[in-house]
Amino acid sequence: MSILGGLLTKKKQQSVINVLDYFLIPKTEVVSKDKIDPVLKKYSLTSSSQLPRIKSSDPLVVSTGALLGDILKLSREDETGKYTYYRVVV
């Protein structure tokens, strides 16, 4: 707390939470540049812009440090199988 111009103000502390540690968040990694072409070929895509999008402000993107245009690989596993999907950061 501090006094500023005779007014009592309270500073808010922002807590930093790593969403990657939460058990419901899928394993997430940034796809390296040399692995992008095989991914696009696997799904018969001509450009990464054809992938589903994820906003750069998404907590998952912020936690991984991904930049605009990067591709995220998300992997999850449950009792029905293992699933991998990709998103491009916009």
Confidence of residue 20 (pLDDT cuts 50, 70, 90): confident
pLDDT at 19: 83
Instruction: Judge contact between 48 and 71, C-beta under 8 A.
Output: yes
Tokens of 85: 């999907």
Report if residue 55 sits inside a domain: yes
Range of the domain at 57: 17-89
Average pLDDT over residues 46-56: 95
The answer to whether residue 75 sits within a structural domain is: yes
The CA radius of gyration of the chain, in Å to the nearest whole number, is 19
CATH code of residue 32? 3.90.940.20
pLDDT bracket for residue 89 (50, 70, 90) = very high
* Total of domains in the chain: 1
Residue 16 is predicted with a pLDDT of 65
pLDDT, average across residues 22-47? 93
Q: Is residue 83 part of a domain?
A: yes
43-46 CB contacts, 8 Å cutoff, 24+ apart:
43/86
